[in-house]
């Protein structure tokens, strides 16, 4: 058994956790992958899930014991989707060894990929949010929920601001979730 770290599960534990997943867990993973693929147009949800599970199995993504396994995979897919967007916009990371022979006046630091969002990445994210909003152009309740969730407001704050009852809020949130999950199969890819 390979001990990966003091607070991290071993690779054997990851494999065992994957084998122990129930059909309902598989269903959750599929929904989580479909929602998260929304962040990265062009990324198929099955590819996202596959890449995330593969990286968990070989230790490139490590499972902190404090997280449930499903939450760990959710966070892995979140990170993978973000990385996909970063690579698509910024291109591959340039290794220092690849810089040999390049213009000596060109500082390697100018070529390094920055983890902070640049203008392209901000524009991409803005487009992503706009795409989600456009799916609900005629649904004011869902638009209010989107606006609230996007700024981290609590359900109560959103209900108060949009004058929604708890039932209306729950129904709007359900419509939002279902549309995000089924967007690809009903309307084609957004890219």
Partner 1 sequence: MTISYPGQDLDRLLLACEDAILEMDDKAVLVEAGDAASAAGAIVGRLVAAHLAGANDVLPPRRAARRTRVPGNARSRRQMLGRLVASRSGLPERVKVAFMSGDMDDSEIAALLEDLLSAPDEPDAE
Interacting residue ranges for partner 1, rule: CB under 8 A: 15, 18-19, 21-24, 26-36, 38-39, 45-46, 49-50, 53-54, 57-58, 70-71, 74, 78, 82, 117, 121-122, 124-126, 128-129, 132, 146, 149-152, 173-174, 176-178, 180-181
Residue 49, exposed/middle/buried by CB under 10 A (0-12, 13-18, 19+)? buried
In angstroms, give the least distance from the CB of 126 to partner 1: 4
Nearer to partner 1, 67 or 111 (CB): 67
Taken in order 49, 51, 52, 56, the sign of the CA dihedral is: positive
Give SS3 for 8: strand
CB count within 10 Å of CB 120 equals 12
d(CA 130, CA 135): 9
Residue 41 or residue 99: which is nearer to partner 1 going by CB?
41
Q: How far is the CB of 29 from partner 1 (least distance, A)?
A: 5
Nearer to partner 1, 67 or 107 (CB): 67
Triad 16, 62, 18: Cα angle to 5°: 20
Name the minimum Å distance from CB 25 to partner 1. 9
What is the rounded CA–CA span in Å between residue 12 and residue 1? 6
Nearest distance in Å: CB 178, partner 1: 7
Residue with smaller CB distance to partner 1, 46 or 102? 46
In the complex, minimum distance from the CB of residue 163 to partner 1, in angstroms, rounded to a whole number = 20
Give, for 165, the enclosing helix (H) or strand (E).
Answer: none
Which residue's CB is nearer to partner 1, number 27 or number 106? 27
Q: Are 99 and 108 in contact (CB under 8 A)?
A: yes
């Amino acid at each position: 058994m390979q001990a990966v770290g003091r607070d991290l599960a071993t690779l054997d534990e990851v494999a065992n956790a994957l084998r122990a997943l129930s059909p309902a867990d598989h269903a959750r993973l599929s929904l989580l992958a479909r929602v998260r693929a929304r962040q990265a147009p062009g990324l198929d949800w099955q590819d996202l899930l596959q890449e995330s599970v593969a990286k968990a199995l070989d230790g490139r993504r490590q499972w902190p014991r404090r997280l449930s396994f499903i939450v760990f995979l959710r966070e892995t897919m979140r990170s993978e989707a973000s990385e996909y967007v970063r690579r698509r916009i910024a291109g591959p990371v340039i290794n220092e060894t690849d810089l040999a022979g390049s213009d000596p006046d060109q500082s390697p630091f100018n070529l390094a990929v920055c983890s902070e969002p640049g203008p392209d990445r901000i524009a991409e994210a803005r487009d992503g949010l706009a795409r989600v909003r456009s799916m609900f152009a005629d649904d004011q309740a869902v638009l209010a929920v989107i606006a609230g969730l996007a700024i981290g407001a609590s359900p109560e704050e959103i209900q108060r601001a949009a004058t929604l009852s708890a039932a209306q809020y729950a129904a709007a949130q359900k419509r939002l979730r279902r549309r995000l999950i089924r967007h690809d199969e009903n309307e084609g890819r957004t890219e």
